[in-house]
């Protein structure tokens, strides 16, 4: 069983600024947590990050036939990208949305999530732990 973990724009800067919102751990720590979790659960994984909407759309399209499910934090594209929503709908792989911060308690413009419309579950406000929860949820979903 293979999982694709996608991170959107600026998440490569984790740990550099805004620790109150996104924590003190850096992007390498996020990748390590995801890889460790998947190894423990017997899952194959690829972790992908891009600052470019079209590259994320391409990656989602290319997931078909290679991955069984997707964990995605579209970052700012969460609130703007119909293209990412359409790509998730097009491949129709089970997808789980993750946000490090609790977007429900932030600005009005963060209250919209297009990606969520194609996701089976959302985790927010749990920090990097949200990725672990998302992987466990996806494994459980794929196993049943």
Active site residues: 22, 99
Tell me whether residue 55 or residue 68 sits nearer to ligand CA2 (CB atom). 55
Taking the alpha carbons of 4, 10, 15, 21 in that order, is the dihedral positive or negative? negative
- Please tell me the distance from the alpha carbon of residue 30 to that of residue 128, in angstroms, as a whole number: 6
Tell me whether residue 66 or residue 109 sits nearer to ligand CA2 (CB atom). 109
Provide the minimum distance between the beta carbon of 113 and ligand CA2 in the complex, in angstroms, as a whole number. 9
Tell me whether residue 37 or residue 73 sits nearer to ligand CA2 (CB atom). 73
With binding defined as CB under 6 A, does residue 113 bind ligand CA2?
Answer: no
With binding defined as CB under 6 A, does residue 7 bind ligand CA2?
Answer: no
Contacts made by residues 36-39, CB under 8 angstroms, sequence distance 24+:
37/131, 37/132, 37/135, 37/136, 38/3, 38/135
Provide the minimum distance between the beta carbon of 143 and ligand CA2 in the complex, in angstroms, as a whole number. 26
Name the site residues for ligand CA2 (rule: CB under 6 A). 10-11, 13-14, 16-18, 22, 73, 75-76, 78, 99-101, 103, 110
């Amino acid at each position: 069983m293979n999982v694709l973990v996608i991170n959107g724009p600026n998440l490569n800067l984790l740990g550099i600024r805004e620790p109150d919102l996104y924590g003190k751990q850096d992007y390498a720590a996020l990748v390590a947590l995801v890889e460790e979790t998947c190894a423990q659960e017997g899952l194959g994984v690829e972790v992908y990050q891009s600052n470019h909407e079209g590259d994320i759309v391409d990656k989602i399209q290319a997931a078909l036939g290679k991955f069984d499910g997707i964990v995605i934090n579209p970052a700012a594209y969460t609130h703007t990208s119909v293209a990412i929503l359409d790509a998730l709908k097009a491949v129709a792989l089970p997808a789980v949305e993750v946000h490090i911060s609790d977007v429900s308690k932030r600005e009005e413009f963060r209250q919209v999530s297009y990606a969520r419309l194609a996701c089976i579950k959302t985790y927010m406000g749990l920090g990097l732990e949200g990725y672990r929860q998302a992987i466990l949820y996806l494994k459980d979903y794929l196993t049943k």
